[in-house]
Structure 1
């Protein structure tokens, strides 16, 4: 089996800009969710990234300007990611690097703003609105490729909240099949009114900061995030000496689609179990090898209960697990890349983060839910992402060295 490694990575969210800021936030248990002031009729709390409104897209790419691509650009400019990709591109050739992005919102905020700016009585949108370069789902990978100067295959994954986790799986397939030598994997999802009001209409927004797995949990907090990882074959090129808190091996992955309901998870957890089991099988690992699980853990009654049941069915109560959405909010299609980077931090720092804002575990739960941080060396960790429509993805990362 081809060994794949994350040789560079970055992430930006309400937790901070970059890997070190994210790591500090986890270790210091900083409160980052804030009351929703993104919209006039704000409800609940959100995970908002500071500085997106002021960020400027490079002038030669101004046609891509939208909140989602600004957020992505901020992440690209963090942790030396652009420079690392340039080095890889010089080694492989820009045409041998793919871009695989996950997103669910893309630049839909731009369409909302264009609709609001229409001339009264005129059904057409303003000519200044560039649908293809903003709202279209292909906008993000095309922007990332143009910004980084790579010309390999481009792909958008829009599998709801499992989007950027699934992106790793498709990137692995492209690399191992020889279509490309490396892939920029990740995604971005940004705040927009459709998401905030849509989840409010589903009565899934908590009036409090999200508290995953808590006995009194009552819904989600929406967040925004962007992140990227450079995925390559092991030993394909010389890497800089020293350790970094983002390097990790991608040793296993699994996916399933249960199609139980458009917006509710299968309460038996059958699809989630299949995704996790397939990841273990692909990695040739027993369940006992996993040292930590980053749960999907949205904070809703149904999702958290389902995931606890699924984890217990495979792992019993021996594997520490937690959701980090109490810090970031639910960043939808970007949650996979953000939480993959958090898993890399766990592997490198041995710090297992707890469920932020949660105080008392649901008494019906049987998994080892972390309410306080724990320090434990893990050789392998799992990241779960389960999306609307029954799309499920699980990744297993291993220590780099």
Structure 2
């Protein structure tokens, strides 16, 4: 069933490429990876990460934030403030009951959890923070954004692992289609760069071991890829029905025309090698947007830099779309921000449409010969794009695909 497009009227980004949409877009287009050996991970088998440069919660959110917010919430507040301001909407005058918040988050406050567990073991239960639970539970990112903007409509968090941010955006569009909301603040946020989380990914063999050249470790679709590099960040989009956005004279930065979701029902961590679930989600998204595979001009791939994911995703893209569409992955430039990745990449897809420029896939030096796709590398490519797809896939076999069209 086809649905009316939803307008994207505001964008906010906080990534390893920079704080703010302009800085993030510039960094991704320049394809300058910022991954480095992380002192906070010293002594671990893998100690590479992408972190947001110069992020100060006290300066960017407020001094009280250091007491009441985990980092994943702080990142989201900064991104959401930018997105709301960009939309031209005024939270002081909107009907808060008609404003929803749907955010994706895979982990929640893992740094708080680790820190407070150490406190419990070393100092005893009396020293554990009374704010432990509200600091760490994932739903608080949506709750705090509601408090920040007076948004009293539907409010929740989606948790589909690395597809969480894209799932949130897809669900947000459905709230608008169902007339449950007039505005939805949506996206994803994650701050999972912690010793325990990084160790867990390392133990399962998911992370790159290219410790001698960390900036070049994340290399989606490259023949020498050996795993992803963990990152952090937040991406927030403001969504409205296009008719409402046009009526108020808003700048429509792009349109969400379709959404598809599925499950592999295959394995806890490995993708279906034939990509059956990903294909199902992609075809469902195209159908809901009423576009054919041949209409797709560009794909912002999930492109994690892991051997299995990139192989399975490229197979699906070749089978469904052929080789005409340009393809890119942002994870070489900003790393894999887990539950925030789909939202960050959705925002980048909107910017790609708007700027008629495809960012390059950072660190792609030698394309895997098994991948027969037009993957943009080395530098940005000018391209007029009418239809673009953004893929997101998560552990548990959960898939989410968004279709964007130009404004």
- TM-score, with normalisation over the residues of structure 1? 0.93
- Equivalent residue runs for 1:307-322 within 5 Å: 307-322=313-328
> Is the Cα contact below 8 Å between 1:161 and 1:336 reproduced in 2?
yes
1:327 maps onto 2:333 in alignment: yes
> Is the Cα contact below 8 Å between 2:9 and 2:86 reproduced in 1?
no
Q: Could you tell me which residue of structure 2 aligns to residue 65 of structure 1?
A: 69
- TM-score, with normalisation over the residues of structure 2? 0.91
CA 1:391–1:8 in structure 2 vs 1: closer, same or farther (change >3 Å)?
same
Q: Could you tell me which residue of structure 2 aligns to residue 231 of structure 1?
A: 239
> Is the Cα contact below 8 Å between 2:220 and 2:310 reproduced in 1?
yes
> Is the Cα contact below 8 Å between 2:52 and 2:232 reproduced in 1?
yes
CA 1:166–1:362 in structure 2 vs 1: closer, same or farther (change >3 Å)?
same
Q: 1:321-363: CA deviations, max 9, x gaps?
A: 1211001100000001100111011101111122211101101
Q: Could you tell me which residue of structure 1 aligns to residue 406 of structure 2?
A: 399
Q: 1:168-207: CA deviations, max 9, x gaps?
A: 1111111111211111011110022232111111122113
Q: Could you tell me which residue of structure 2 aligns to residue 160 of structure 1?
A: 161
1:252 maps onto 2:258 in alignment: yes
Q: How far did 1:78 drift?
A: 3.1
Q: Could you tell me which residue of structure 1 aligns to residue 277 of structure 2?
A: 271
1:95 maps onto 2:102 in alignment: no
1:55 maps onto 2:89 in alignment: no
CA 1:232–1:88 in structure 2 vs 1: closer, same or farther (change >3 Å)?
farther
- Partner SS for 2:28: helix
Q: How far did 1:127 drift?
A: 3.7
Q: Over the residues paired in the alignment, what is the CA RMSD in angstroms?
A: 2.1
CA 1:125–1:165 in structure 2 vs 1: closer, same or farther (change >3 Å)?
farther
Residue of 376, 388, 391 corresponding to 1:381: 388
> Is the Cα contact below 8 Å between 1:161 and 1:386 reproduced in 2?
yes
Q: How far did 1:76 drift?
A: 2.8
Residue of 38, 48, 56 corresponding to 1:45: 48
Deviates more, 1:164-173 or 1:367-376: 367-376
Q: How far did 1:155 drift?
A: 1.0
Q: Structure 1 regions of 5+ residues with no counterpart?
A: none
- Equivalent residue runs for 1:23-38 within 5 Å: 23-38=25-40
Q: Could you tell me which residue of structure 2 aligns to residue 176 of structure 1?
A: 177
Q: How far did 1:256 drift?
A: 0.4
1:220 maps onto 2:220 in alignment: no
Q: Could you tell me which residue of structure 1 aligns to residue 366 of structure 2?
A: 360
Greater fraction of residues in helix: 2
Q: Could you tell me which residue of structure 1 aligns to residue 287 of structure 2?
A: 281
